[in-house]
Structure formats: structure tokens, C-alpha cells
Structure 1
């Protein structure tokens, strides 16, 4: 499936605003190219009568029909080519009554049929392709069989939110969209249209039921054709999808002439006051339906099935409008429970604002973030999330693992995503003393980036603090803790073209735990096969620092400007670190029940770029560094402090070794092979 590569010039939101305005009837109309007839205006009605079979009318003042206005084409089985000259799209909010005639409307700026607009004709053609004199001559020769060519370079859009009643329909534009509530029927308004062909770079068809439970799109079987150069979808809105128990339903199919048409669900795009204001409450509630449905215990299998591949965001959403009894409602992460998000999410470059995420209990297998868990089927069938902005986010309640955007990812691609103005991201260690293995993780973007994850063109800006601390007095027993400005823990993942700016602090406090503690300005722990390139970090830890602090029994402790600890095969290239706060790694005494062993070399490392290399003493360590820039404030400090090593059941065996090291680039290491 092709991925969207450019943006629509006229957004759905903007077009909705246009519909609400009042417009005059068609102005400056003249019959041209040897055709003749009369144009008569009376009150809110224009009546057009042509003399002959084929007619060309050029509208020097534009072709628009306001609400409660009408344009009537007299005659029977005649062909009317209307060419509109105006600086914006033609707005049809009233009635275009073509009768049995065939009506062509050409406006390179677009054609927008509002919710109150109605088209009636034997055949209706709307196109944004400019016509040459030769094209007009071809129309005069062919009449009803004429169809304008599609020009992929033109930006005008054709959008229908009203009713098109015609036996034959052709819509040609950059984006061709049948919006939510938009209808297509036959000429009588009740039967099926015989044929409809939608042609554009982007083609979107919203389907559903009306108040009488009848399909809003009624076209004869095999008569619905679509040509989409970039992408095309048959789609439903999330509200109706949820009402049908998250089943897409049978609304026929679009016979593809190029790009395969898949199914999509839309979120948002709802307005009030005749389209002048975004209905944030309804839009936010649709997101809640999205999350609740995905996490429902009643959900039987993955939502992405039967050709459904994509979720599309249709407008900005301000979640502060979603309230109950005066309090904002917290939203569950999407994919927090048994089903990971596994399809495509296209944010349309819209923004989620002031979102309050309901924190999850990781002990139950849940992850906290806007998306809890994102997981594609395999490396050839990845989940994809792209073109999305987030402005304002907080956690409600306590969680012990996750990220602001996604808790855990695998076989997933994230691109063109931007987060800003994020409050405290506080992760709490639940003090599970009976838990003897595993790890906790937290990141500014992703908590745990597993194999097959990729992150490209992402920015984080203005985060107050990212922290992980004990919920009570103590930490969990033998649990490793990883925390990073972008990712807590990475393995088998790629990171590129990423900017982090103004993160107040990345801090870990561990108390009486037998695990490792790693904190990094970008990633807490970079495991095997992690690759990092073209990444810029600015103004990190200027308030609270980058701190990994363990009090009693902690194994390795590391803090760094970029990666707290690194193991396995990794690559770091074209990375800059500018203007950081203090980088501190410190630990109290460590206790073990036996004497000297190879795994009892307990390190404390603090480095400008990496805290500790190979702290877990893996068999393979191959790390490459190229084009690394570090420019820190002279007043900041890079500091490492180790406690005492204590061995033996009775505290009488002092045979454990401890090292503490601090460096402008690297703290400490147990090294096999290093490439600079």
C-alpha cells in the first residue's frame, strides 16, 4: 500500500467552514462557443434555458448556490457545460436542479457541496481540470459522453457533504471526498445511481446508514469505480462503527482503476454552528470510543480485518472539553490490554491537545501512553503511525512503565510526529518485593522499543520532567530500571532525524533493589542492534539534571547525556548534545551473599555521551561512533560516586569490586571491541 507523501492543500476542516457562508447565485453567465440560450434571475432562483443540444456557459462572476437558493436547467436530455471563473471553490448549499439534463461543472479551485446542497441531474460531472478550447470543442462533439481528463498537478478538491441524485456521476479533483452524511442516489433520490466514478490523487468515501437505516451511498453493483493515484479509502466514522459493535459492515465495494481501495475509520471532523466551530467534545468522545473499543474484553479478535487497514484523524481534538461533573475524563491508552494496535494511523497533521491519559498497571500487562502497545504482525507487515502532533499531555494515576506517546513497540514505524508542552511524566516503582526478574522502563516518547521498531522525523519540545521513583520507601526486588529522554529501553530498533529540546530532567531514584539503574538523555539502555543517526539534543536536564541514583543493594548505576548503558552491536552517527544540566550517577553500598565472581564487578559510570559500555558483560560488544558533537555549559558537572561492596551472609566478606568513573564522553566500560 502506498503511503501518503504530501498534504492536501484544502483541508476538510477549512472546507467545512466555507460551507457556512452565504453566497450569491451564479454571476456573469454567458453562452459561448457558438451556443445560445437565456439566463433569467428572479429572487433566489436562476433559470437557464438552452437552444440546442450542447451548451457552454462561462460564469465570469463564479458559480455558487447559497442555502435556500436554486438554479434550474430547463429542457430534456440536454448537455450544459458550466465553467466557473473565481478565486475559490464553487459552493453549492442550495439546489441545482438539472432535471433529465446532463450537468457539467468545471472549477479549477474546487467544488464543495454543503450539507444543505442538492444536485439533481441525469448525469453530473464536477471537475477541477482546466479546459482548453480543444477540450470545449470535444465536449460540443461528444455531449453527454464527454469527460474531463485528470491532471495530477492541480490542487482543487471535490467534496460532497450533501446529496447528489444522478444516474451517472463523475467527480475529478486532487482530493475527492464523500464526507460523513454525504449521499449518492439515482436521479429520483431513492433508487441506485447506475454508475459513479471518482478520480483523484486522494479518494475518500464515507459510508453508513441514514435515519431510516438505508445506505447513504446507493450505486448499482459493479457500478462504483475509483481511481486514486496516492491513496483511496472507503471509510466509516468512529461513532457509527462503535454503534455497530466495531464491525465495518457490508457497504459494497469500489472497483479500483489504479490504487487498491482499503477500508478506514475516521475520528473527529465534527463541527457545529453550521461548520464554524470544531465540536471538540464529540471529537474527543470518538477518540474515547476508539480506545475503549480497542481495549474491550468483549472485542473478539483484531479490529483490522476484512480490508480495514487504517484509522484517520480528521481534525484537531482538544480533550479538555471531554468532562464529567466538571472534571476532565482520562482516556485509556489505545492497545493497553490484550490487543496491540496493529494497523495504520494517519494523523493528517492534526493535533491532539490537553490529553489526559489513564495510567495503567504494568503488572497486568498494560502499558501507559497515548498508544499502550503498538505491534505489527512481522517485519513485512508493520504497524504505522504518522503525521500527528500532540500539544499538552498528562498521566492520571500511577504507572510503572510507558512513554508519552507509546508504551511498547515492535515491528512498528513512527514518523512525522511532534510532541510539546508535556507535564510531569512520573513512573512509580510499585515495590514488588516478590518479583525477582524483569525491568521497568519509561521514555519521553516510547518506553520499550523492541525489535523492528523505527522512529523518524520526530520532535519532543518542552517536557517538564521524566522521572521514575519508588511508590513507597523501597524499590522492587531485583528489577532493572531504564529511563530516557526519548526511549527507556531499545533493542533491534532504528532512530533517525529526531530533535529533543527543553526537557527539564531525566531522573531515577532506586532504593534497596538488586537491579541495575540506567538513565540517559536520549535512551536509558541501548540493547543489541540499536542504531541512532541524525539526532539533536538541546537543553536537556537544565533544571533537574540527568540522574541515576541507587540507595543500597543496586548493581550497576549509569547516567549519561545520550545513552545510560550500551550492550551488543550499536551505531551512533551525526549526533549533537548541546547545553545540558548535571549528569550524575551514584549508588550506596551493594550487598551479595557470596564472594568474588565475574559478575560482581559493580560499576557506577557517568559520561557526557555514554555512562557504561557493556555493563552486563555480554559476549559481543561492537559499537561505532561517527560525527558526535558535545557542547556543554562549563558550569555543569559529570559526576559518579560508588558506595561500599559488601559480601557474605554475615557481612564479613569484602571481596566484591566496585568502580566509579566519570568522563566527558564515556564513563566506564568492560570492553571487547570499539570503533571510533
Structure 2
């Protein structure tokens, strides 16, 4: 596209927004020296192609934001991008400016507006002004204008010329240390400022200094109490925009090259990264060239635990295979402590996590032991299998051990999670092997099989094998987490649709489990106990609260043990702790249970079997709600089942409501269940 203006100052209002697709170009020519572009609509402006102004001055105004992609190129004498809206009166003022006034025009900064300006590409201009709520140079370059005789593909590269001035204005300003070439770099940040350097650059050259100044921007609307962030308050951020950057992130962090662990406060993704798993690349032994190999696991050992902040900025790590042995921690991150990790997507694209002699293994992190860590806005999907053969271990779709605070986590499409041990204990779950934190707004979808085979104590759950600390688990939705099975030979074995074992006074609230099929445990150890339930195999904390919980499916619950076996439609065991049994049963010893709805499709069952008869201490407890004796702390518990599938033995008539249905009444029964469960 060619744009030729005849006046000194030209104003173009783009009704459908202003964008340049990759491979396309917009050329500004003619007699006009200054082009003011106003982008209308609700979308940000994306520059993925070439904006070529032949030495003229280009202004781009879009309140929704301006993004210069990796493939985006700007060539101009002066380039201004702003997210501050302009009135018709402001536009007329610009139109009437003389040539020099128009060339030096600077839009107002409106701190309350939300649009951001991000440069991941190449800006070649002698004078650059970027204004937005957030202004970030994320792996992009800002150099001076190309020489007059530059043409063709050369226009798409950094000019290597020096810009006379670069000014960045925003509530948050992030400056790329190794991307700006200018005699004058000015930052006007009013909330937060950071110097950014790629991990590749830092690994090879150490911390680069940057000569920049901070100063007030002279055209601010409603500044209020906002104060300029001074130079000494700028944070240090590492940027990761390629597989090479991730390589040096991992190697630099794990080896602490150039004191990397202490230099940066935050690590940030600036692009999607493809790890080439479907091409035979191994994340745990990754080579970027002949002889240059390392484990990409961040925090792969106790002596290099990751303890900083990580912001994925909505980008995706994808196409991953992890094949690893003889280490403690396996995952995208290995061992994490007191970190804040957020805004990242992980798509294994059918890849796997395959371990031998690994202690802690997860789809995202091997071990997050401390409650001081925060995980939010993270998705994990498309894992073929997570498998580990080890002495003792914890394995989960998200984490081996999940300690900390977790919110807005989404797990989707894991075929199998499998753990095997011939001599130790095991914990395994769709989210975590062992949970030790607070969990809110979690969704888990489509895990076919969670299977644990150990010759020791065993815990398995659709969400987690065990829960031992944490104040709450709330707003959790699980669908088609189908089969949770344990084959054990230990002092006890517990399995549940949500948790194998609960050992903490936690508040469980607003939880929906749909599509559950098989909960199975078989424990052949002498004098051993087994516990199975659609929600949990065993809960032994008397002040735990279970409320607003719904579970539905054609559910088969089976507990088999050498000595005592407990199988319950909701809980296998609800009482105080006593190794190998439910301890004190009945009375007020169980947890508080309110507003629980169970819908058993036709063909469901709850069974318990002891291999010993009663003469040798064998006991079997199976019940439609809780396997042990009735609990007084129950209110509004509702069970829907096919008329021929269950009897009603040992339920509390004034606290547990039994709704049976036939072929003819099934649809209405399910409708009634949904109306109450939702």
C-alpha cells in the first residue's frame, strides 16, 4: 500500500483499525512530512510487516495498544506510537501545525488508560517516542534510521545506525538493554520500571550497563499522585524469546553463570518457544549445537532451586519430550521455592515425561514444597503419558508436590499418569502427587488413567494423592478424569476421585466432578487397610469441611485389602486417625459435610472385600455414602441412583436423602440433580 499526502501534515483515520500483516508493506510518500494515523475499533494495531516512511515522520494512535511483532519493521525519521486517544479538536490542531511543529508533536499521556505498546521487532528511526499504559521492548531493537540508499531486504534488518533520541513513557516501562542504540535514552515511568536483557546476552557477556536518564514527561493528563520512578528503582528483568534463550536461561540458572540467580528479579517470556519434541529433541538433555547440551529443567537440583519470579506473558512453551533418569526433580521447572510463576501456557503436543529413578515429577514443576510460592494463569495440555519407575516418588499432572498458592490452573488431555515402585511408597494425582497448599479456580479435563503400583504405602487421587496442609480447595471442576487405580503392598492404601487421603482441616467448597468411572484399590500387605471413595478414600481430620460438592458418573468403587477394606460412595473413611483403620467411628469424630450431591448412573457400585475373614481380623465396610458408621455432622446429603443398584443400609434418614430412579424417571432425576448441584 502506498500513501501519498499533499499537505505538510496529513491525518488518516482508519475506520477498521491499522495493521500490517507479515509480508505486506505500507509506504508513506508524497509531499507530506508528518502523517498522523488514528486507528479506530476495539483491537490493538499489530505491525507484522514493513512500515516504510522514507525519512518522514509517522504517528500511530490506538487506545487499544500497538504491538510490533518479531517480523515487524518500522523505517522513519521519527516514529511515535501512543495509546492516548485524540479528540477532533486535537487533530485539527495537529493539521494546522507548521512542518517543524508537526515533526516534534508529542501526544498527551493518559495514565488511566489500559493500552500497551510492545516492540518485539525492529524500529529504525532517528527519534522514537512510545507512550502507553505499559511500554515494553521485549526482544526488539531500536536503532537509527536506515541510510538513504538502503533498499530491498536490507530495510528489514536493524540499521546499526545510532538514533538521536528514544523516549519511553508509561505507567510501566521496560527497556531492553541489548536492543537500543541511541545517544539519548529517556524513561518516564510512573509505576514501575525495569531494565531487560536476554538470557543469551547475560550468559555470554554478564550484566550490561545502560546509559539512560529518567525525567518527567511534560504532557500528562490527570497525573494525580503518580511519581516518576527514578533510575535507582528500576528492576532487572531477563527476557527469553527463543529456544536458545531458554537454553541459556537453564544453563545460566543451574550453573549460576555470572551470578545470574542474584542479578535478575524476574524472568519473562517474549515469544512462543518450540522445543522440537516431535523431532527427537529431549528437554532434559537438549543440544543447540554439536557439543552444546544441557538440561532445560529450571532448578534441576537442591543446590539450584528456582526462587525468583517468572512471567510467561501469555506465551506458549510447546512440543516437549522429557526423558530423564537418576535425578530428584523433573518438569518444565524442577525444584521451586518462594517464587511467583504466572501467565504461561504449556502444550506438550503429544509429548511425554518418562522417568527412571526420579523423586518428584510433574507436567509443570517437580516440587514446590513451600507455601510461599504462587502459581496463577497456567495451562498444561496434550501429554501422552507421565511415567516414572523409582523407589519412592510423587507424580502429578501439574506437580509432584504442589506446595503454595494455586489459582486459575487448567490441565487438559493427559492420556496416562503411571508410577511404579518395587520397594517404596508413592503418591500420584491428576494435579499433584502430594498437595500442600491452597487451590482455587482449577479445571482438570480428560485424564484417562491414573495408576499407582507400589510395594509400600500408596495414595492416588483424581486431583491429588494426599492433601496435608492448606486452608481451602474451592471452585474446582474436573471432567473425564476417569480411572484412578492402586495396586499396593503397604501399611495402607487410599484412592479417591478427588483425593486419596486428606490429613488436614481444609475447607472444600464448590467442587464438581463429572465423568468419574473407576476408583479401585487392592492392598495385599499383611495387616493392611484399603480406602476408596468417589471424593476421597480417607479423611481423618475432624474439623475439615466438605460443602457444595457434586459428583456424577457411572462410578465403580472397589476397596480390597488383606485385613480391613473401606469403600464409600463419597468417603471411604471419615474419622480420626488410627493407622490401618478408620479409628474412632461415628459420633462427632468425622468432618462436617453439607450440601453434597452424588449422581450414580445405572451400573454403579460400591464394594469392599477383605481377604481375611473376621476370625483373623478381616473387616469389610461398604456404604452408599460413607463406609464407616454414620456421622452426626451431615446435612443435606443427596444421593441419586438407579433403583436396582444400591440398598439403603446404614444411612441417616433425616440427613441423607436417597433419590432412586428407573428407566422412565432417569431424565427427570438427572435434571433435578443438575438443578441442585449447580
TM-score past 0.5 threshold? yes
Instruction: Provide closer, same or farther for how the CA distance between residues 488 and 219 of structure 1 changes in structure 2, counting only shifts above 3 A.
Output: farther
Cα distance in 1 for partners of 2:258, 2:558 equals 47
Indicate conservation of the 8 Å contact 1:588/1:644, yes or no. yes
Cα distance in 2 for partners of 1:196, 1:190 equals 17
Indicate conservation of the 8 Å contact 1:427/1:469, yes or no. yes
Cα distance in 2 for partners of 1:527, 1:240 equals 48
Cα distance in 1 for partners of 2:598, 2:18 equals 61
Equivalent residue, structure 1, for 2:464: 487
**1:452-471 map, 5 Å:** 453-470=437-454
Q: Say which SS state the counterpart of residue 105 (structure 1) adopts.
A: strand
Equivalent residue, structure 2, for 1:607: 568
Indicate conservation of the 8 Å contact 1:369/1:406, yes or no. yes
Equivalent residue, structure 2, for 1:502: 480
**Residue 523 (structure 2) pairs with residue 550 (structure 1):** yes
Instruction: Provide closer, same or farther for how the CA distance between residues 107 and 637 of structure 1 changes in structure 2, counting only shifts above 3 A.
Output: closer
Equivalent residue, structure 2, for 1:344: 340
Instruction: Provide closer, same or farther for how the CA distance between residues 552 and 154 of structure 1 changes in structure 2, counting only shifts above 3 A.
Output: closer
Equivalent residue, structure 2, for 1:403: 396
Equivalent residue, structure 2, for 1:581: 555
Instruction: Provide closer, same or farther for how the CA distance between residues 174 and 535 of structure 1 changes in structure 2, counting only shifts above 3 A.
Output: same
Instruction: Provide closer, same or farther for how the CA distance between residues 670 and 107 of structure 1 changes in structure 2, counting only shifts above 3 A.
Output: closer
**1:527-538 map, 5 Å:** 527-538=503-514
Cα distance in 2 for partners of 1:127, 1:615 equals 63
Indicate conservation of the 8 Å contact 1:469/1:508, yes or no. yes
Q: 2:499 aligns with which of 523, 535, 550?
A: 523
**1:188-207 map, 5 Å:** 190-191=161-162, 194-199=165-170, 205=175, 207=176
Deviation at 1:352, TM superposition (A): 4.3
Deviates more, 1:482-491 or 1:65-74: 65-74
Deviation at 1:198, TM superposition (A): 3.4
Q: 2:37 aligns with which of 80, 83, 86?
A: 83
Equivalent residue, structure 1, for 2:265: 308
Indicate conservation of the 8 Å contact 2:389/2:421, yes or no. no
Equivalent residue, structure 2, for 1:390: 381
Q: Say which SS state the counterpart of residue 136 (structure 1) adopts.
A: helix
Deviation at 1:321, TM superposition (A): 3.1
Instruction: Provide closer, same or farther for how the CA distance between residues 409 and 84 of structure 1 changes in structure 2, counting only shifts above 3 A.
Output: same
Instruction: Provide closer, same or farther for how the CA distance between residues 313 and 187 of structure 1 changes in structure 2, counting only shifts above 3 A.
Output: closer
Cα distance in 1 for partners of 2:602, 2:492 equals 30
Instruction: Provide closer, same or farther for how the CA distance between residues 313 and 583 of structure 1 changes in structure 2, counting only shifts above 3 A.
Output: farther
Indicate conservation of the 8 Å contact 1:314/1:350, yes or no. no
Instruction: Provide closer, same or farther for how the CA distance between residues 267 and 104 of structure 1 changes in structure 2, counting only shifts above 3 A.
Output: closer
Equivalent residue, structure 1, for 2:364: 370
Q: 2:179 aligns with which of 207, 216, 222?
A: 216
Deviation at 1:249, TM superposition (A): 5.4
Q: Say which SS state the counterpart of residue 491 (structure 1) adopts.
A: strand
Name structure 2 gaps, 5 residues minimum.
148-159, 215-226, 288-294, 306-334, 636-678
Name structure 1 gaps, 5 residues minimum.
1-23, 31-36, 38-49, 209-214, 271-281, 433-438, 590-602, 647-653
Q: 2:414 aligns with which of 411, 422, 432?
A: 422
Indicate conservation of the 8 Å contact 1:565/1:615, yes or no. no
Q: How far does the alpha carbon of each residue in 1:156-188 deviate from its partner, in whole angstroms, 9 at most, with x for none? A: 755451124334x32134664423242355999
Q: 2:84 aligns with which of 111, 124, 129?
A: 129
Deviation at 1:417, TM superposition (A): 2.2
Cα distance in 2 for partners of 1:461, 1:419 equals 6
Indicate conservation of the 8 Å contact 1:517/1:554, yes or no. no
**Residue 604 (structure 2) pairs with residue 636 (structure 1):** yes
Deviation at 1:253, TM superposition (A): 7.8
Instruction: Provide closer, same or farther for how the CA distance between residues 518 and 496 of structure 1 changes in structure 2, counting only shifts above 3 A.
Output: same
The Cα RMSD (Å) is: 4.2
Q: How far does the alpha carbon of each residue in 1:132-172 deviate from its partner, in whole angstroms, 9 at most, with x for none? A: 123235555775363233375565755451124334x3213
Instruction: Provide closer, same or farther for how the CA distance between residues 105 and 460 of structure 1 changes in structure 2, counting only shifts above 3 A.
Output: closer
Cα distance in 2 for partners of 1:554, 1:397 equals 28
Cα distance in 2 for partners of 1:484, 1:254 equals 55
Cα distance in 1 for partners of 2:18, 2:604 equals 66
Cα distance in 1 for partners of 2:506, 2:247 equals 34
Q: How far does the alpha carbon of each residue in 1:531-578 deviate from its partner, in whole angstroms, 9 at most, with x for none? A: 3211111111x2xx2011111315321001011111223121211110
TM-score normalised over the length of structure 1 = 0.69
Instruction: Provide closer, same or farther for how the CA distance between residues 457 and 353 of structure 1 changes in structure 2, counting only shifts above 3 A.
Output: farther
Q: Determine which structure has greater relative contact order: mean sequence separation of CA pairs < 8 Å that are 6+ residues apart, divided by chain length.
A: 1
Equivalent residue, structure 2, for 1:624: 592
TM-score normalised over the length of structure 2 = 0.69
Indicate conservation of the 8 Å contact 1:110/1:173, yes or no. yes
Cα distance in 1 for partners of 2:544, 2:93 equals 63
Indicate conservation of the 8 Å contact 1:313/1:347, yes or no. no
Deviation at 1:347, TM superposition (A): 3.4
Equivalent residue, structure 1, for 2:310: none
**Residue 119 (structure 2) pairs with residue 119 (structure 1):** no
Indicate conservation of the 8 Å contact 1:317/1:351, yes or no. no
Q: Say which SS state the counterpart of residue 401 (structure 1) adopts.
A: strand
Cα distance in 1 for partners of 2:595, 2:132 equals 46
Cα distance in 1 for partners of 2:27, 2:532 equals 71
Deviation at 1:252, TM superposition (A): 6.8
Cα distance in 1 for partners of 2:18, 2:596 equals 60
Indicate conservation of the 8 Å contact 1:565/1:611, yes or no. yes
Indicate conservation of the 8 Å contact 2:574/2:590, yes or no. no
Cα distance in 2 for partners of 1:90, 1:408 equals 41
Deviation at 1:629, TM superposition (A): 0.7
Q: Say which SS state the counterpart of residue 91 (structure 2) adopts.
A: helix
Indicate conservation of the 8 Å contact 1:263/1:307, yes or no. yes
Deviation at 1:301, TM superposition (A): 12
Cα distance in 2 for partners of 1:573, 1:258 equals 47
Q: How far does the alpha carbon of each residue in 1:362-394 deviate from its partner, in whole angstroms, 9 at most, with x for none? A: 5xx544443101245x64xx3324232422342
Q: Say which SS state the counterpart of residue 564 (structure 1) adopts.
A: strand
**1:135-284 map, 5 Å:** 135-136=90-91, 139=94, 144=104, 146-150=106-110, 157-167=117-127, 169-173=128-132, 176-184=135-143, 190-191=161-162, 194-199=165-170, 205=175, 207=176, 215-218=178-181, 223-227=186-190, 234-237=195-198, 240=201, 243-244=203-204, 250=209, 257=228, 262-267=235-240, 282=243
Q: How far does the alpha carbon of each residue in 1:475-517 deviate from its partner, in whole angstroms, 9 at most, with x for none? A: 14xxx21110011111222322111111231011113x3x210
Cα distance in 1 for partners of 2:561, 2:109 equals 72
Instruction: Provide closer, same or farther for how the CA distance between residues 321 and 632 of structure 1 changes in structure 2, counting only shifts above 3 A.
Output: same
Cα distance in 2 for partners of 1:621, 1:355 equals 46
Cα distance in 1 for partners of 2:411, 2:179 equals 38
